[in-house]
Amino acid sequence: MQYFLVLLVIILIYLIYALIPSLWFKVMYKIKRKENDKIIYLTFDDGPSSKYTNKLLDVLKKYNIKASFFCVASFALENKDIIKRIEKDGHIIGLHSLKHENAYLMDIFKTNKDFKNSLKIMKDLGLNIKYFRPPWGDLNLASLFNIRKYHFKLILWHVMAEDWKKDTTAFDIEVKLLQRIKGGDIVCLHDGRGKNNAPLITIEALDKAIPILLGKGFVFQTVDKYNEK
Ligand SMILES: [Zn+2]
């Protein structure tokens, strides 16, 4: 009986610490989505990557499109030249944690350290971070505290195209993007990590989908222009 009670308390603490806040913000993000005829916010997580990000930047430049990059701070440190190019090309840089660890598995102290160390790296790179997206969209109470402390705006997403999957194709991603995107959506894609060079497939899909979306009259904006209801 005692063990059962201890287990129950642990589960309850975990629910309050991580599961409920994550679920709450994910649901609220969808509810607060503002319909906006023709605006799309492209966002890219998990970079910068020496293998993929420059190729993506070339495609965005080709169509003169601005996007938002949620960078992993330790990857940014390894790819300073790419960070400079993302900025020079006029895109927005937000934070996507220090090493892409899950907030569900981090205690308060580790979470605080994650934010502090990430910000130190980003500041040393000359970046003034205003936007934060947690890996997998997962939060804990300490991440919420840090988001407030550093005055970040939390940016989640409305549309994904499962572009990290190992067996997906550029055609699959293109079709998903064209079918799923509605005006006002924040679209989450990836320019790093992923299996079997997945980001290359994402870039190939975008090279096909972007001109079609432009042809339909969509306009691409960065997340600093995003307003909720
Ligand atoms: Zn991620």
From 203, 204, 199, 134, select the one nearest 164 (Cα to Cα). Answer: 199
Least confident range of 43-52, 89-98, 178-187, 195-204 = 195-204
CA of 56 to the centre of ligand 1 (A): 17
Give the per-residue pLDDT at 155: 97
Give me ligand 1 centre to Cα 7, in Å.
31
- From CA 193, how far away is CA 25, in angstroms rounded? 25
Q: What is the whole-number distance in angstroms between the Cα of residue 167 and the centre of ligand 1?
A: 18
* pTM for the full predicted model: 0.95
The yes-or-no verdict on residue 229 having pLDDT over 80 is no
Rounded to the nearest angstrom, the distance between the alpha carbon of 31 and the centre of ligand 1 is 22
How far apart are the CA of 186 and the centre of ligand 1, in A? 15
pLDDT tens per residue, range 81-96 = 999 999 999 999 999 9
Per-residue pLDDT averaged across 164-180, rounded?
94
Tell how strand 68-71 and strand 39-47 pair up. Answer: parallel
Ligand 1 geometric centre to CA of 127 (Å): 19
Average model confidence (pLDDT) for the chain? 95
Least confident of 19-33, 92-106, 202-216: 19-33
The CATH architecture one would assign to domain 2-224 is: Alpha-Beta Barrel (3.20)
For 98-141, the pLDDT digits (tens) are 999 999 999 999 999 999 999 999 999 999 999 999 999 999 99
The ranges assigned to domains in the chain are 2-224
**Distance from residue 100's CA to the centre of ligand 1 (Å):** 6
Chain segment 54-80, per-residue pLDDT in tens:
999 999 999 999 999 999 999 999 999
Q: How far is CA 143 from CA 26, 27, 62, 152, 169, in A?
A: 14, 17, 37, 11, 34
Going from the Cα of 17 to the center of ligand 1, the distance in angstroms, rounded, reads 21
